[in-house]
Amino acid sequence: MLTREENELVCSTGPGTPMGDLFRRFWLPVALAEEIPGPDCDPVRVRVLSEDLILFRDTEGRPGLVDAYCPHRGAPLFFGRNEEAGLRCVYHGWKFDVSGACIDLPNAPEGETFKNKVTITAYPSVEKAGMIWAYMGPKDKQPPLPGFDWLDMPKSNTYVKKFRLECNYLQAMEGDYDASHATFLHSTLGQGQANNPAMSASGGRIVLSDKMARYVSIEDTLSGILMVSANRWPDGRVQYGAAPWMMPIFCTAGIAGPGVYSSNMRIPIDDHALMFYRFRWSYEPLPAKELSSYESGEYIYPKLMPGTFIPVDNKSTDYNIDRVAQRNYSYTGIKTFPLQDIAMMEDQRGPLMDRTREHLASSDEAIIRVRRRLIKEARALAEGKEPEAPWHPEAFTYHSAGIALPGDTPVEEAVKRVRALATDKSKTAALAPS
């Protein structure tokens, strides 16, 4: 349980807040690259960390992320003209490049000299792995990009979509390191079966002999926390899974096929909504079967309302829960894996959970550790101590990993083996479910 002050600190990411300042020390995805498909394309509204911004791509194809309003008299730049290496306000013609410099001020005789004194808030932006990434912190604190193995992979090896959720980032993120929820929430009735064949390398279902998945190791790393869970199978083997979490929002949980890894990024829109970037990648080109399931299966990626990033099945429709299926087959009656999670996330006593009213158990140890780490780092920054993680790209090379071992394998040995797999740059680490 958190105090009211701690809960407000860890959940609030707007400008000037301790957690908002911490988030702004990291590069974060702010849009899909396809949202600005080519040079001089239409500008796009973006709201990130409670800031209203405009994203565009200039004549040379460079992404630009600037304040949503012209610094002259506050006119909305969404209606601006994207032309000739800059975004021009249609109210009085002021024009800004991707760096925020005013490059034309045509409506005043002093424009040629005055324009050098005018700037618009602009954040450094780059395109990587099908996403536009931005750094929104102080210019003199700008770190290198994180060293994710997938950041510079060819398009054939990665896949990403995003969708909007109506809740705070933290309550959505905490499900990724909740080891015990899957054997309930994502199960079918009878024998504890996980209800998604993709969770097994062989294509069959996983049958779990208990519902007591637990973390047997939780250790701090430079970039975050590395958790190792254990769950016993009916044949006596134990499934060990590594689930790294990296600051401030990079999670590695999620279902995927053989040789494919998961990355989940939940970027605060504000304190009551987020954009969920659900990313899949592989050291080899993604199999056609896997891509087909992403595009049309509606299991790993929820179906969206046309022209939006809002799931068709959402809070307003009670996720179209099927009570007949719940009584006879599905534990929840909610038809897809992500929607089962989303239904639990979006209304935990509202879009911003009051954690003073919760009662945590030993199975929530990882959740407690992540909260403590975020609070510790935010408080340290507020006291003037900069976070180390952004300056160590190599600390972000972790990915999920899983291995099934004989039941009599010492836990220390099992943790050592699965920890090594979490930095193994081959497809073998993802073969076993985790």
Joined tokens for residue 354: 């009051």
**With bands split at pLDDT 50, 70 and 90, how would you rate the model's confidence at 68?**
very high
Give the type of residue at 304: L
Nearest-Å Rg of the Cα atoms of the chain is: 23
Residue 201 pLDDT: 37
- 242-270: average pLDDT: 92
Q: How far apart are CA 31 and CA 130, in angstroms?
A: 9
DSSP state of 331: S
Residue 432 pLDDT: 42
Residue 210 pLDDT: 55
Contact 80, 89 (CB under 8 A): yes
- 106 cis-preceded (ω within 30 degrees of 0): no
Residue 297 scores a pLDDT above 80 = no
Residue 350 pLDDT: 82
Q: Per-domain residue ranges for the chain?
A: 34-139, 155-430
Contact 378, 384 (CB under 8 A): no
Residue 335 scores a pLDDT above 60 = yes
- 352-363: average pLDDT: 85
- 344-353: average pLDDT: 84
Residue 118 pLDDT: 93
Locate the DSSP E strands across 233-332: 238-246, 250-251, 261-270, 273-281
| Residue predicted with more confidence, 339 or 81 | 81
**With bands split at pLDDT 50, 70 and 90, how would you rate the model's confidence at 428?**
low
**With bands split at pLDDT 50, 70 and 90, how would you rate the model's confidence at 199?**
very low
Average pLDDT for the chain: 89
Fold of 34-139: Rieske Iron-sulfur Protein (2.102.10)
Residue 191 pLDDT: 53
Whole-model pTM: value is 0.91
Residue 319 scores a pLDDT above 70 = yes
**With bands split at pLDDT 50, 70 and 90, how would you rate the model's confidence at 372?**
very high
pLDDT digits (tens, 9 = 90+) for 134-187: 999 999 999 999 999 999 999 999 999 999 999 999 999 998 887 777 778 887
**With bands split at pLDDT 50, 70 and 90, how would you rate the model's confidence at 233?**
confident
Residue 203 scores a pLDDT above 70 = no
Contact 215, 179 (CB under 8 A): yes
Joined tokens for residue 220: 């701090």
Q: Residue 415: enclosing H or E segment and its boundaries?
A: helix 411-421
- CA distances from residue 370 to 36, 170, 178, 244, 377 in whole angstroms, order as listed: 34, 10, 11, 11, 11
Q: What's the CATH code, domain 155-430?
A: 3.90.380
- 395-415: average pLDDT: 94
High-pLDDT (> 90) share of the chain, %:
67
Q: How far apart are CA 339 and CA 345, in angstroms?
A: 10
Residue 204 pLDDT: 39
**Going by DSSP bridges, is the β-strand pair 401-405/27-32 parallel, antiparallel, or unpaired?**
unpaired
Q: How far apart are CA 165 and CA 111, in angstroms?
A: 44
